[in-house]
Amino acid sequence: MGGKDKQREGKRREDVMALNQCPGQNRLFWKPDDIFNAECPHCKHEMEFWKDDIRRECPECHKQVVNPKLDLACAQWCKWADKCLEGLTLEDRLIAAAKDVFGDDDKRVAHALRVLEYAKRILETEEADAQVVVAAAALHDIGIPESERKHGNAAPENQHQEGPPIAREILTRLGVEAEEVEKVCDIIGHHHTPRNEETPEFNVVFDADVLRNWMESGPPDLTPELETKINKAFRTEGGRRLAKSVFLRAAAEKDA
């Protein structure tokens, strides 16, 4: 073996050793909270995650659940990033990007994940561009941290101002086409304030966000007036059906 061949072989062994000993993945370096429990967004069953899980199947409802603490920040500098990211969907990468922006704010990460889940369920009966809906739902509140930093609060108008530039950078970096990037940013830029005429994608994201906000405030009591309130607040038929289903389930669990 010649000198250059030996150098190449030595470099290859160093690279393999570096990959096998990555401190982020080597469990010798893990801390107790790197294995944690999280609620399945589909059935609320408590699941165990390891920090390097991308997604796991819920043992109760058998649906795939993305790791709510998925963090791919190291992919921005690690030379093995392409290998680690193999098999990740755009949705996975959007969730990871949102987690990177929200940092340790688990409450807002959980909110984004639940809005995303509701939006996907509404999409089952509504005609809309699924990629635009998924991206907008995952990133709809992405301007909150910057709003709080610059303005001292997360008022809707501040979120609408600060969110689109952050979302645009994320989506462009992930290779989303420019036309879809602008559609997503438009939704994020006024997601609290519908216009007189809206796109189907906006309506799906809006309904998913309204439903999650209602649930976080405590699901409303099942009164004769509730159906009228739902019909007025939600913009899609799929959103109305989902809201009624979610509220009925919450009421049943409350009475159990």
Least confident of 59-63, 124-128, 136-140, 182-186: 59-63
Judge whether 248 lies within some domain.
Answer: no
Residue 178 has pLDDT above 90, yes or no: yes
Between 30 and 25, residue with greater pLDDT:
30
Domain count, the chain: 2
pLDDT of residue 135: 97
Residue 20 has pLDDT above 50, yes or no: no
Judge whether 241 lies within some domain.
Answer: no
Residue 255 structure tokens? 């009475």
Between 100 and 78, residue with greater pLDDT:
100
Judge whether 119 lies within some domain.
Answer: yes
Least confident of 25-34, 73-82, 100-109, 241-250: 73-82
CA distance 54 to 213: 27
The CATH number of the domain holding residue 149 is 1.10.3210.10
Give me the domain span that covers residue 45. 26-69
Domain boundary among 69, 102, 121: 69
Per-residue pLDDT tens for 218-248? 878 888 888 899 999 999 999 999 999 998 8
DSSP 59-112: TTT--EEE-TT---GGGGT-TTHHHHTTT--HHHHHHHHHHHHHTT-HHHHHHH
Least confident of 86-90, 97-101, 144-148, 213-217: 86-90
Query: pTM above the 0.75 mark?
Result: no
**SS3 annotation, 112-179:** HHHHHHHHHHHHCCCCCCHHHHHHHHHHCCCCHHHHHHHHCCCCHHHHHHHHHHHHHHHHHHCCCCHH
Averaged pLDDT score across all residues of the chain: 84
Residue 12 has pLDDT above 50, yes or no: no
Residue 2 structure tokens? 């010649």
Phi-psi region of 167 (alpha: psi -120 to 50; beta: other; left: phi over 0): alpha
Helix, strand, coil in percent for the chain, rounding step 5: 60, 5, 35
pLDDT of residue 253: 73
| Per-residue confidence band for 84, with pLDDT thresholds at 50, 70 and 90 | low
Residue 160 has pLDDT above 90, yes or no: yes
| Per-residue confidence band for 19, with pLDDT thresholds at 50, 70 and 90 | very low
CA distance 101 to 139: 10
Is 46 in the same domain as 104?
no
Is 49 in the same domain as 118?
no
Residue 116: name the closest of 130, 134, 132, 95 by CA. Answer: 134
Is 101 in the same domain as 206?
yes
pLDDT of residue 32: 77
Encode 132-168: b = buried (16+ Cβ within 10 Å), e = exposed.
bbbbbbbbbbbbbbbbeeeeeebeeebbbbbbbebbb
Per-residue pLDDT tens for 43-54? 888 999 887 677
Least confident of 185-189, 197-201, 246-250: 246-250
Judge whether 236 lies within some domain.
Answer: no
Residue 24 has pLDDT above 70, yes or no: no
